[in-house]
């Protein structure tokens, strides 16, 4: 079955430290991949997307993600965490084929805490 998994429901880092949020998908065909961020009492904001062009994707707020087909992964990174990065992050996938065009499948989310 096609699925997306985020490893770690909570990640805690110090301000200025590297942020690494993990996302793996299960699919025989590379899907379209997205990272979204959600701040309290708000909707989801798109951070970046992978659509089969460059494997290293740069997004907003200094985030980037690398698509690795061999590892079926799309991990999100940021070199230096800022207090304002504290939020919940979701990896999302549109799987190829069928009528799944508009259907995003989300990971369970990772809550990022940034300590001063």
Contact residues for another protein, defined by CB under 8 A: 32, 34, 36, 41-46, 49, 51, 90, 92, 94, 99-109
- Under 8 Å CB-to-CB from 29, ≥6 apart: which residues? 95, 96, 97
Residue 101: DSSP 8-state: T
Shortest separation between residue 102's beta carbon and another protein, angstroms:
4
Shortest separation between residue 113's beta carbon and another protein, angstroms:
17
Decide whether 12 or 45 has the Cβ nearer to another protein: 45
CB 8 within 8 A of CB 111: no
Shortest separation between residue 27's beta carbon and another protein, angstroms:
13
User: What SS3 state is found at 61?
Assistant: helix
């Amino acid at each position: 079955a096609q699925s997306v998994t985020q490893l770690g429901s909570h990640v805690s880092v110090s301000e200025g430290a590297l942020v690494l949020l993990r996302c793996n998908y299960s699919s025989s065909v590379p899907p379209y991949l997205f990272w979204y961020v959600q701040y309290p009492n708000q909707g989801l904001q798109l951070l970046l997307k992978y659509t089969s062009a460059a494997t290293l994707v740069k997004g907003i707020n200094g985030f980037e993600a690398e698509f690795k087909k061999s590892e079926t992964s799309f991990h999100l990174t940021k070199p230096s965490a800022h207090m304002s990065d504290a939020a919940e992050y979701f990896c999302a996938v549109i799987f190829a084929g069928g009528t799944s065009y508009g259907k995003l499948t989300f990971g369970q989310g990772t809550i990022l805490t940034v300590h001063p």
